């Protein structure tokens, strides 16, 4: 490990420790700080160009995972390099975990699937009851034509959402800060599932318990949107909002590869 990389990681570790100490009340009740810090450092050691990034920005990115109780090491969320900053993004697995944990109406199961050419897919409403009939073709490597997500509640009710490939690609092209990231290019199926799952969760009443957790969840979507200045809320990750000492570590701009799907879906729904 280079000296510069070691210095940056040590400073980021110290800043993250301070953030966690100051924000104990916003952390999940089952949060394991020791394990979280160990996993963060393991992930950061393998992060490309980490030595070029600012320790405060690194710490703030990792803090978002802490607020949500997601594990970077297990792939429930990611710290994605973008320029000289890290961006926080939730994974499909993390999305499911959060929906189950914070839904006011207890969830029995929630999932998303991609639909490929050759699969059978039908959605219908009969006598006021909605249903999904999906019969995927075995070992189907056909082109993806869309995706859907389903939430089954313990009370027997269900909700679902569908999106065509064209809809998802429009969100990617219009709102994604990194439309050519590895997620979109190498694992489009996972990106598609996450996008439709985020749209579904807009219909699920989630209670995160505090502003920090809600903000981290919104930021983890992977989409970016401009807000009117008067409508912006103070981010708990801004220097003035997070009450910590910085020990003369210069703060740089934080590049949130985060606000994308949530707001993008709002925008697309307006146009439906």
pLDDT score for 259: 45
Do 99 and 195 share a domain, yes or no? yes
Do 35 and 135 share a domain, yes or no? no
Residues 101 and 231: beta-carbon distance below 8 Å: no
* pLDDT tens per residue across span 15-56: 999 999 999 999 999 999 999 999 999 999 999 899 999 999
Do 78 and 28 share a domain, yes or no? yes
Q: Indicate left, alpha or beta for 234 from its phi (over 0: left) and psi (-120 to 50: alpha).
A: beta
pLDDT score for 159: 95
User: Which domain covers residue 108, as residue numbers?
Assistant: 94-206+265-270
Confidence of residue 271 (pLDDT cuts 50, 70, 90): low
Instruction: Say what the pTM is.
Output: 0.77
* pLDDT tens per residue across span 137-177: 999 999 999 999 999 999 999 999 999 999 999 999 998 87
pLDDT score for 82: 80
* Max CA separation in the chain (angstroms): 68
Do 191 and 215 share a domain, yes or no? no
Domains in the chain, number: 2
Q: State how far the Cα of 50 lies from the Cα of 9, in Å rounded to an integer.
A: 8
Do 194 and 244 share a domain, yes or no? no
Do 188 and 216 share a domain, yes or no? no
Do 117 and 163 share a domain, yes or no? yes
Do 45 and 131 share a domain, yes or no? no
Quote the mean pLDDT of the chain.
Answer: 84
Closest CA to 192 of 144, 152, 159: 144
Do 27 and 63 share a domain, yes or no? yes
Asked whether the predicted pLDDT for residue 264 surpasses 80, the reply is no
Residue 99 sits at φ, ψ, to 5 deg, of: -60, -45
Q: Percent of the chain, pLDDT > 90?
A: 67
Do 125 and 86 share a domain, yes or no? no
* pLDDT tens per residue across span 205-256: 999 999 999 999 999 987 764 443 334 444 444 443 343 433 333 343 333 3
Closest CA to 196 of 154, 129, 145: 145
Do 118 and 214 share a domain, yes or no? no
Do 115 and 166 share a domain, yes or no? yes
């Amino acid at each position: 490990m280079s000296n510069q990389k070691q210095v940056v990681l040590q400073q980021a570790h110290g800043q993250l420790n301070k953030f966690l100490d100051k924000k104990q009340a916003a952390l999940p009740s089952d949060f394991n700080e020791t394990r979280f810090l160990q996993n963060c450092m393991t992930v950061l050691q393998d992060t490309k160009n980490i030595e070029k990034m600012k320790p405060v920005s690194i710490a703030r990115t990792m803090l978002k995972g802490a607020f949500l109780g997601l594990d970077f090491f297990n792939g429930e969320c990611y710290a994605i390099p973008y320029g000289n900053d890290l961006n926080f993004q939730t994974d499909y697995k993390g999305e499911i975990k959060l929906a189950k944990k914070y839904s006011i109406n207890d969830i029995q199961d929630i999932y998303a699937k991609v639909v490929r050419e050759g699969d059978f897919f039908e959605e219908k409403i009969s006598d006021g009851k909605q249903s999904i009939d999906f019969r995927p073709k075995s070992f189907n490597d056909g082109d993806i034509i869309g995706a859907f997500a389903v939430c089954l509640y313990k009370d027997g009710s269900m909700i679902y959402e569908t999106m065509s490939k064209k809809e998802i690609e429009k969100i990617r092209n219009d709102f994604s800060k990194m439309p050519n990231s590895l997620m979109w290019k190498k694992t489009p199926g996972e990106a598609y599932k996450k996008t439709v799952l985020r749209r579904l969760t807009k219909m699920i009443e989630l209670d995160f318990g505090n502003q920090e957790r809600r903000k981290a969840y919104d930021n983890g979507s992977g989409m970016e949107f401009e807000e009117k200045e008067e409508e912006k809320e103070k981010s708990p990750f801004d220097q003035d909002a997070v009450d910590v000492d910085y020990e003369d570590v210069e703060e740089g701009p934080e590049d949130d590869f985060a606000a994308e799907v949530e707001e993008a879906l709002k925008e697309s729904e307006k146009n439906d």
